[in-house]
Amino acid sequence: MKGLIIKDIMCLRKQLRVFGFVVAGVLAVGIMYVLSARFGNIASANARAIADNQMEAFEINNIATLALALFMLVPLASVGDLLNVFIADRQAGFEKVAGILPLSVRKRLTARFITIFTLFGIGAVIDVIIAFILSVLTDIISFADFVGIIISASSLMCIYSALVILYCILLGKGRETVAMILSLLCMVLIYVILRFNKLKDILIAIIALDDTGDSGMSTDYFWDFITFIKQKSYILLITALIIMAVSYCISYVIADKKRGVI
Protein backbone atom coordinates (compact mmCIF):
# COMPACT_ATOMS: atom_id res chain seq x y z
CA MET A 1 0.00 0.00 0.00
CA LYS A 2 2.86 2.33 0.88
CA GLY A 3 4.18 1.77 -2.63
CA LEU A 4 1.00 3.11 -4.20
CA ILE A 5 1.08 6.21 -1.98
CA ILE A 6 4.68 6.76 -3.06
CA LYS A 7 3.62 6.32 -6.69
CA ASP A 8 0.78 8.85 -6.27
CA ILE A 9 3.17 11.35 -4.73
CA MET A 10 5.62 10.69 -7.60
CA CYS A 11 2.77 11.57 -9.99
CA LEU A 12 2.40 14.87 -8.17
CA ARG A 13 6.16 15.46 -8.09
CA LYS A 14 6.03 18.23 -10.69
CA GLN A 15 3.13 19.80 -8.80
CA LEU A 16 5.05 19.54 -5.53
CA ARG A 17 8.05 21.26 -7.09
CA VAL A 18 5.80 24.21 -7.95
CA PHE A 19 4.42 24.01 -4.40
CA GLY A 20 7.68 25.39 -2.97
CA PHE A 21 7.36 28.51 -5.10
CA VAL A 22 3.66 28.83 -4.22
CA VAL A 23 4.45 28.72 -0.49
CA ALA A 24 7.24 31.28 -0.85
CA GLY A 25 4.95 33.50 -2.94
CA VAL A 26 2.04 33.26 -0.50
CA LEU A 27 4.33 34.01 2.43
CA ALA A 28 5.86 37.04 0.67
CA VAL A 29 2.49 38.46 -0.45
CA GLY A 30 0.96 37.70 2.96
CA ILE A 31 3.75 39.55 4.79
CA MET A 32 3.48 42.50 2.39
CA TYR A 33 -0.28 42.58 2.93
CA VAL A 34 -0.23 42.49 6.75
CA LEU A 35 2.58 45.05 6.94
CA SER A 36 0.74 47.35 4.56
CA ALA A 37 -2.49 46.86 6.52
CA ARG A 38 -0.64 47.87 9.68
CA PHE A 39 1.77 50.59 8.56
CA GLY A 40 1.35 51.23 4.84
CA ASN A 41 -1.10 52.25 2.16
CA ILE A 42 -3.80 49.77 3.13
CA ALA A 43 -3.71 51.10 6.72
CA SER A 44 -4.14 54.72 5.58
CA ALA A 45 -6.89 53.78 3.10
CA ASN A 46 -8.71 51.93 5.87
CA ALA A 47 -8.33 54.90 8.22
CA ARG A 48 -9.77 57.20 5.54
CA ALA A 49 -12.69 54.83 4.91
CA ILE A 50 -13.55 54.82 8.62
CA ALA A 51 -13.19 58.60 8.89
CA ASP A 52 -15.49 59.10 5.89
CA ASN A 53 -18.02 56.60 7.33
CA GLN A 54 -17.67 54.44 4.24
CA MET A 55 -16.84 51.35 6.24
CA GLU A 56 -16.82 50.19 9.80
CA ALA A 57 -13.84 48.70 11.56
CA PHE A 58 -15.29 45.19 11.63
CA GLU A 59 -15.87 45.31 7.87
CA ILE A 60 -12.25 46.23 7.26
CA ASN A 61 -11.25 43.40 9.54
CA ASN A 62 -13.49 41.00 7.62
CA ILE A 63 -12.06 42.06 4.26
CA ALA A 64 -8.56 41.49 5.60
CA THR A 65 -9.61 38.12 6.96
CA LEU A 66 -11.06 37.16 3.59
CA ALA A 67 -7.86 38.18 1.79
CA LEU A 68 -5.74 36.17 4.21
CA ALA A 69 -8.15 33.21 3.98
CA LEU A 70 -7.65 33.19 0.23
CA PHE A 71 -3.89 33.23 0.73
CA MET A 72 -4.26 30.20 3.00
CA LEU A 73 -6.29 28.36 0.40
CA VAL A 74 -3.64 28.68 -2.32
CA PRO A 75 -1.07 26.22 -0.86
CA LEU A 76 -3.81 23.69 -0.09
CA ALA A 77 -5.29 23.92 -3.56
CA SER A 78 -1.89 23.64 -5.22
CA VAL A 79 -0.77 20.61 -3.22
CA GLY A 80 -3.89 18.51 -3.31
CA ASP A 81 -5.18 18.43 -6.87
CA LEU A 82 -5.71 14.70 -7.00
CA LEU A 83 -7.14 14.77 -10.50
CA ASN A 84 -3.59 14.77 -11.82
CA VAL A 85 -3.04 11.34 -10.27
CA PHE A 86 -6.07 9.90 -12.00
CA ILE A 87 -5.08 11.48 -15.31
CA ALA A 88 -1.46 10.28 -14.99
CA ASP A 89 -2.64 6.73 -14.18
CA ARG A 90 -4.96 6.69 -17.16
CA GLN A 91 -2.33 8.03 -19.55
CA ALA A 92 0.18 5.41 -18.42
CA GLY A 93 -2.35 2.57 -18.42
CA PHE A 94 -1.41 1.97 -14.80
CA GLU A 95 -4.78 0.38 -13.96
CA LYS A 96 -3.52 -2.82 -15.63
CA VAL A 97 -0.42 -2.86 -13.42
CA ALA A 98 -2.50 -1.99 -10.34
CA GLY A 99 -4.78 -4.92 -11.12
CA ILE A 100 -1.94 -7.44 -10.85
CA LEU A 101 -0.36 -6.07 -7.69
CA PRO A 102 -0.78 -8.19 -4.55
CA LEU A 103 -3.06 -5.59 -2.99
CA SER A 104 -6.77 -5.88 -2.30
CA VAL A 105 -9.21 -3.32 -3.70
CA ARG A 106 -9.66 -1.98 -0.17
CA LYS A 107 -5.91 -1.40 0.25
CA ARG A 108 -5.65 0.33 -3.12
CA LEU A 109 -8.54 2.61 -2.27
CA THR A 110 -7.17 3.29 1.20
CA ALA A 111 -3.85 4.25 -0.38
CA ARG A 112 -5.60 6.89 -2.47
CA PHE A 113 -7.41 8.33 0.54
CA ILE A 114 -4.22 8.33 2.59
CA THR A 115 -2.57 10.26 -0.23
CA ILE A 116 -5.23 12.97 0.12
CA PHE A 117 -4.80 13.14 3.89
CA THR A 118 -1.04 13.24 3.56
CA LEU A 119 -1.08 16.00 0.98
CA PHE A 120 -3.61 18.13 2.79
CA GLY A 121 -1.75 17.39 6.01
CA ILE A 122 1.46 18.74 4.45
CA GLY A 123 -0.47 21.74 3.04
CA ALA A 124 -2.14 22.43 6.39
CA VAL A 125 1.12 22.22 8.37
CA ILE A 126 2.80 24.65 5.98
CA ASP A 127 -0.26 26.90 6.18
CA VAL A 128 -0.03 26.85 10.00
CA ILE A 129 3.62 27.93 9.78
CA ILE A 130 2.69 30.77 7.39
CA ALA A 131 -0.23 31.69 9.66
CA PHE A 132 2.06 31.83 12.70
CA ILE A 133 4.46 34.17 10.92
CA LEU A 134 1.62 36.39 9.68
CA SER A 135 -0.19 36.44 13.04
CA VAL A 136 2.97 37.74 14.72
CA LEU A 137 3.02 40.65 12.27
CA THR A 138 -0.66 41.63 12.46
CA ASP A 139 -3.41 42.35 14.95
CA ILE A 140 -6.15 42.03 12.29
CA ILE A 141 -6.50 38.31 12.83
CA SER A 142 -5.39 36.06 15.66
CA PHE A 143 -3.46 32.83 15.26
CA ALA A 144 -6.51 30.89 16.52
CA ASP A 145 -8.69 32.44 13.78
CA PHE A 146 -6.00 31.62 11.25
CA VAL A 147 -6.06 27.99 12.37
CA GLY A 148 -9.86 28.04 12.05
CA ILE A 149 -9.54 29.26 8.47
CA ILE A 150 -6.95 26.58 7.68
CA ILE A 151 -9.15 23.83 9.13
CA SER A 152 -12.12 25.12 7.12
CA ALA A 153 -10.11 25.33 3.90
CA SER A 154 -8.58 21.86 4.43
CA SER A 155 -12.01 20.42 5.18
CA LEU A 156 -13.49 21.90 1.99
CA MET A 157 -10.59 20.54 -0.04
CA CYS A 158 -11.02 17.11 1.56
CA ILE A 159 -14.75 17.12 0.73
CA TYR A 160 -13.94 18.08 -2.85
CA SER A 161 -11.28 15.37 -3.17
CA ALA A 162 -13.50 12.69 -1.61
CA LEU A 163 -16.19 13.53 -4.17
CA VAL A 164 -13.66 13.58 -7.04
CA ILE A 165 -12.44 10.09 -6.10
CA LEU A 166 -16.00 8.79 -5.87
CA TYR A 167 -16.99 10.23 -9.25
CA CYS A 168 -13.76 9.16 -10.95
CA ILE A 169 -14.35 5.57 -9.84
CA LEU A 170 -18.06 5.72 -10.66
CA LEU A 171 -17.67 7.29 -14.11
CA GLY A 172 -14.57 5.37 -15.16
CA LYS A 173 -11.42 6.48 -16.87
CA GLY A 174 -11.29 9.51 -19.14
CA ARG A 175 -14.03 11.36 -17.26
CA GLU A 176 -11.86 13.23 -14.76
CA THR A 177 -13.09 16.66 -15.85
CA VAL A 178 -16.72 15.57 -15.53
CA ALA A 179 -15.90 14.20 -12.06
CA MET A 180 -14.40 17.55 -11.11
CA ILE A 181 -17.43 19.51 -12.35
CA LEU A 182 -19.88 17.13 -10.65
CA SER A 183 -17.95 17.39 -7.37
CA LEU A 184 -18.07 21.17 -7.42
CA LEU A 185 -21.77 21.13 -8.35
CA CYS A 186 -22.44 18.69 -5.52
CA MET A 187 -20.72 20.93 -3.00
CA VAL A 188 -22.66 23.98 -4.18
CA LEU A 189 -25.90 21.99 -4.13
CA ILE A 190 -25.33 20.70 -0.59
CA TYR A 191 -24.58 24.24 0.56
CA VAL A 192 -27.70 25.64 -1.14
CA ILE A 193 -29.88 22.91 0.38
CA LEU A 194 -28.47 23.51 3.86
CA ARG A 195 -28.85 27.29 3.67
CA PHE A 196 -31.91 27.35 1.43
CA ASN A 197 -34.14 29.61 3.56
CA LYS A 198 -31.47 32.22 4.15
CA LEU A 199 -30.39 32.26 0.51
CA LYS A 200 -34.03 32.45 -0.60
CA ASP A 201 -34.60 35.55 1.60
CA ILE A 202 -31.52 37.24 0.17
CA LEU A 203 -32.56 36.41 -3.38
CA ILE A 204 -36.07 37.77 -2.82
CA ALA A 205 -34.62 40.95 -1.34
CA ILE A 206 -32.30 41.39 -4.34
CA ILE A 207 -35.12 40.74 -6.84
CA ALA A 208 -37.40 43.18 -5.02
CA LEU A 209 -34.68 45.84 -5.48
CA ASP A 210 -35.72 49.22 -4.13
CA ASP A 211 -33.65 52.19 -3.05
CA THR A 212 -32.30 50.29 -0.08
CA GLY A 213 -31.17 47.35 -2.23
CA ASP A 214 -31.27 44.11 -0.24
CA SER A 215 -30.94 46.09 3.01
CA GLY A 216 -27.41 44.79 3.46
CA MET A 217 -28.64 41.20 3.81
CA SER A 218 -26.11 39.75 1.41
CA THR A 219 -23.23 41.64 3.05
CA ASP A 220 -24.35 40.50 6.50
CA TYR A 221 -24.64 36.97 5.21
CA PHE A 222 -21.13 37.15 3.82
CA TRP A 223 -19.70 38.51 7.10
CA ASP A 224 -21.51 35.70 8.95
CA PHE A 225 -19.84 33.26 6.60
CA ILE A 226 -16.40 34.72 7.38
CA THR A 227 -17.12 34.41 11.11
CA PHE A 228 -18.31 30.87 10.58
CA ILE A 229 -15.15 29.69 8.81
CA LYS A 230 -13.02 31.33 11.52
CA GLN A 231 -14.87 30.18 14.59
CA LYS A 232 -16.89 27.12 13.64
CA SER A 233 -14.42 25.28 11.46
CA TYR A 234 -14.99 22.12 13.51
CA ILE A 235 -18.42 21.77 11.82
CA LEU A 236 -16.75 21.70 8.40
CA LEU A 237 -14.12 19.29 9.71
CA ILE A 238 -16.76 16.85 11.00
CA THR A 239 -18.69 17.18 7.72
CA ALA A 240 -15.49 16.46 5.78
CA LEU A 241 -14.78 13.35 7.86
CA ILE A 242 -18.33 12.06 7.34
CA ILE A 243 -18.24 12.72 3.58
CA MET A 244 -14.84 11.07 3.29
CA ALA A 245 -16.09 7.99 5.14
CA VAL A 246 -19.21 7.79 2.94
CA SER A 247 -17.15 8.36 -0.21
CA TYR A 248 -14.71 5.63 0.87
CA CYS A 249 -17.48 3.09 1.46
CA ILE A 250 -19.35 3.84 -1.78
CA SER A 251 -16.10 3.95 -3.78
CA TYR A 252 -15.15 0.57 -2.35
CA VAL A 253 -18.46 -1.00 -3.34
CA ILE A 254 -18.21 0.44 -6.86
CA ALA A 255 -14.53 -0.52 -7.31
CA ASP A 256 -15.22 -4.03 -6.05
CA LYS A 257 -18.10 -4.42 -8.50
CA LYS A 258 -15.87 -3.14 -11.28
CA ARG A 259 -13.31 -5.83 -10.37
CA GLY A 260 -10.89 -3.43 -8.76
CA VAL A 261 -10.89 -0.62 -11.30
CA ILE A 262 -9.76 2.45 -9.35
Partner 1 sequence: MRKSGDIKVFGRSIDEDSASLREDIGVVFDEMGFHEFMTGRDINIMMKNIYKNWDEEAFFNYLKEFSLPSKKKCGSFSRGMRMKLQIAVALSHHAKLLVMDEPTSGLDPIVRNEMIEIFRDFVVEEDHTILLSSHITGDLEKIADEVVFIDGGRIILSGNKDEILEKHGLLKCRKDELKEISESLIVNTDHGPYGEEILVNDRESARKLYPEMVMEQPALEEIMIHYVNRDRKR
Task: Please say which residue, 100 or 207, places its beta carbon nearer to partner 1.
Answer: 100
Residue 261 found at the interface with partner 1 (CB under 8 A): no
**Among positions 41, 96, 193, 197, the unique one binding partner 1 when judged by CB under 8 A:** 96
Task: Please say which residue, 24 or 101, places its beta carbon nearer to partner 1.
Answer: 101
Residue 257 found at the interface with partner 1 (CB under 8 A): no
- Shortest distance in whole angstroms from residue 254 CB to partner 1: 16
DSSP 41-65: HHHHHHHHHHHTTSS-HHHHHHHHH
- Shortest distance in whole angstroms from residue 114 CB to partner 1: 13
Residue 17 found at the interface with partner 1 (CB under 8 A): no
Find all residues with CB under 8 Å of 195, minimum gap 6, and list them: none
Task: Please say which residue, 244 or 262, places its beta carbon nearer to partner 1.
Answer: 262
Q: Report, in angstroms and rounded to the nearest whole number, the Rg of the chain calculated over CA atoms.
A: 21
Residue 212 found at the interface with partner 1 (CB under 8 A): no
Task: Please say which residue, 17 or 209, places its beta carbon nearer to partner 1.
Answer: 17
Task: Please say which residue, 11 or 68, places its beta carbon nearer to partner 1.
Answer: 11
Q: At what angle do helices 176-194 and 143-171 cross, to 10 degrees?
A: 130
Task: Please say which residue, 12 or 163, places its beta carbon nearer to partner 1.
Answer: 12
Residue 4 found at the interface with partner 1 (CB under 8 A): yes
Q: Specify the stretch interacting with partner 1 by CB under 8 A; choose among 8-16, 40-48, 66-74, 191-199.
A: 8-16
- Shortest distance in whole angstroms from residue 12 CB to partner 1: 11
Tally of CB atoms within 10 A around 69 = 20
Q: Is the distance from CB of 151 to CB of 232 less than 8 angstroms? A: no
Residue 18 found at the interface with partner 1 (CB under 8 A): no
- CA-wise closest residue to 179 among 111, 85, 110: 85
Tally of CB atoms within 10 A around 162 = 25
Q: Is the distance from CB of 23 to CB of 16 less than 8 angstroms? A: no
- CA-wise closest residue to 170 among 155, 154, 157, 186: 186
Residues between 56 and 95 that touch partner 1 (CB under 8 A): 88-89, 91-95
Q: At what angle do helices 105-137 and 13-39 cross, to 10 degrees?
A: 20
**Among positions 41, 52, 100, 209, the unique one binding partner 1 when judged by CB under 8 A:** 100
Residue 255 found at the interface with partner 1 (CB under 8 A): no
Residues between 102 and 161 that touch partner 1 (CB under 8 A): 102-104, 107
Residue 195 found at the interface with partner 1 (CB under 8 A): no
Scanning the chain, the segments in alpha helix (DSSP H) are 2-11, 13-39, 41-51, 57-79, 83-92, 94-100, 105-137, 143-171, 176-194, 196-207, 217-231, 233-257
List of residues contacting partner 1 (CB under 8 A): 1-4, 6-7, 10-11, 13, 88-89, 91-97, 100-104, 107, 259
